Structure 1
Amino acid sequence: GELEITDLNQLYLQEGTLHVERLGRGMAWLDAGTPDSLLQAATFVQTIQSRQGNLVGCPEEVAFRMGFISAAALRERAGMIGKTELGRILGDIAAGVHV
């Protein structure tokens, strides 16, 4: 059967290894386990990305902004992604166009 996140949390709790942190402002937990919740999550991501210009859940952007990778590495990754909206945005971020 499917392993739910609550099952994993219960296992960690039983082992005494569960660590909980509250999500701060600007964070969201999106459950996409049903068609309706998947649509809600997709709409949320679309709204944030289109209205605020921020990528949601993009490890490449986070790595660049936190100084873990260089602009050259981000450009290379953007090139690997190809001619998609994500590739274009990452290229713009690397070039300093998309702040």
Structure 2
Amino acid sequence: DNEVVSIAEALEPSARGEYEITDVNREYLRRGRLHVEIMDRGTAWLDTGTFRSLMQAAQFVQVIEERQGLRIGCIEEVAYKRGFITSEQLEALARPLLKSGYGEYLLKLLESPTWRS
């Protein structure tokens, strides 16, 4: 929702000198508007508040993508799997990206009917 911006602007840095997502959650809880869901198996929360943790997150993403052949954060894949875009639209999005390898990944989604939920 749009309240998150005003909530975040009102935050004070923590003892670590950082703005904490936990403080945003705490404010939603105080307002009686916090909605919580248990994350699915295989979901990971990655802290990227320091250079070291950002590097660790990047390495984690690299390992998952290379070993499992999946892309993390692929919005075109999610849109296609959920039926928000057609196979023709996915192909049109993929074609300009073929040189990057990302486009090849998107086109492979069209080859497997199991990708569509």
TM class by smaller structure: 0.7 to 0.9
TM-score by length of 2: 0.71
Report matched runs for 1:3-14 at 5 Å: 3-14=19-30
Name structure 2 gaps, 5 residues minimum.
Answer: 1-12
**Residue of structure 1 equivalent to 2:60:** 44
2:31 corresponds to 1:31: no
1:74 to 90, 106, 109: 90
- Cα distance in structure 1, aligned partners of 2:40 and 2:31: 26
Q: Percent identity?
A: 48
Q: Counterpart amino acid of 1:21?
A: E
**Residue of structure 2 equivalent to 1:57:** 73
User: SS where residue 22 of structure 1 aligns?
Assistant: coil
- Per-residue Cα deviation, 1:36-62 (whole angstroms, up to 9, x for no partner): 111111111111111111111111111
Count the aligned residue pairs.
97
User: SS where residue 60 of structure 2 aligns?
Assistant: helix
Question: Deviation of residue 31 (structure 1)?
Answer: 1.4
Name structure 1 gaps, 5 residues minimum.
Answer: none
Q: Counterpart amino acid of 1:89?
A: Y
Question: Deviation of residue 27 (structure 1)?
Answer: 0.9
- Cα distance in structure 2, aligned partners of 1:53 and 1:39: 21
Question: Deviation of residue 81 (structure 1)?
Answer: 4.2
For the pair shown, the structure with the greater C-alpha radius of gyration is: 2
TM-score by length of 1: 0.82
- Cα distance in structure 2, aligned partners of 1:31 and 1:81: 29
**Residue of structure 1 equivalent to 2:8:** none
